[in-house]
Amino acid sequence: MATVDDSSLCSVCNKLPGKRFCMGCKKYFCSKDFKEHEKQLSIQFDNEIVRSHDELLDMIQKLEKPDDLSSDLFDQIDQWKKITINKVEKAAERARHELIEMIDKRRTTATKQLEDVTNEIRRHREEENFLEDDIVRLRTKLNEIQKVLEQFTRKDTKRIIIATNDEIDWNRIIYIAEGEEIGEHIYLKTAYTITVINQLNIYL
């Protein structure tokens, strides 16, 4: 703040000569009001500049510990994790149930087929009537039943029962991306955004 002498009246009291001039507000002050003006400027500087500076510094320091920042975001990520795991577990349980039903269906079918063969074997035994064609035909039926049953009874580490693909991009199934701020709102690039912090969006 610079001062010059002038015969103008003080811009505050309008009584005493304004011998001090403020280069900032371009006004004249008497010695008393000039000191008060300097005091108010100091208070304003502390409130508007120093305090804002300290608040920004505190925000930057908080970024050093992201777990302590906006814990609700991390809570939502954890919640998404639990929900996803729950869905996977339900899908696995459904697959187990479907496999059990399929095995039971195949077992019932194989049992019925084997009963038919059993009855035919007994009849041939009782009649003591065997032809080469009967042996070939019954052997074929038994082989077919055996082939079906072995699909579920043999242990084969090379057998694949789950077909996987790379259609799911696990690196993008949930991710953080910057949004575009318009006025007081955040413009979201997807309808599945679950939360917003400043210009950070979490997408699903």
Nearest to 151 by CA among 109, 183, 118, 186: 109
45 and 95 part of one domain: no
pLDDT at 179: 53
Question: Is 90 exceeded by the pLDDT of residue 174?
Answer: no
141 and 176 part of one domain: no
pLDDT at 15: 86
Question: Is 60 exceeded by the pLDDT of residue 152?
Answer: yes
85 and 144 part of one domain: yes
Domain span at 81: 76-153
40 and 25 part of one domain: yes
The total domain count for the chain is: 3
Residue 194 near residue 80 (C-beta atoms within 8 A): yes
Distance of alpha carbon 4 from the chain centroid: 64
In a domain, 57, yes or no: yes
23 and 85 part of one domain: no
Q: What's the whole-number mean pLDDT along residues 75-91?
A: 88
Counting Cα atoms < 13 Å in the Cβ hemisphere of 131 gives: 4
Distance (Å) of CA 6 to CA 10, 37, 157:
10, 17, 100
Exposure of 124 by Cβ count < 10 A (0-12 exposed, 13-18 middle, 19+ buried)? middle
* Comparison of pLDDT for 91 and 199, the residue scoring more: 91
Question: Is 50 exceeded by the pLDDT of residue 167?
Answer: yes
- The per-residue pLDDT for range 102-116, each reduced to its tens digit, is 889 988 999 999 999
177 and 135 part of one domain: no
Q: What token pair was written down for 69? A: 């920042």
Q: What is the DSSP letter of 10?
A: P
- The per-residue pLDDT for range 27-80, each reduced to its tens digit, is 999 999 999 999 999 999 999 999 999 988 887 887 777 666 566 777 888 888
pLDDT at 163: 60
pLDDT at 162: 62
Confidence grade of residue 166 (pLDDT, cut at 50, 70, 90): low
pLDDT at 153: 78
Q: What's the whole-number mean pLDDT along residues 189-197?
A: 39
In a domain, 159, yes or no: no
89 and 137 part of one domain: yes
20 and 63 part of one domain: yes
58 and 15 part of one domain: yes
37 and 91 part of one domain: no
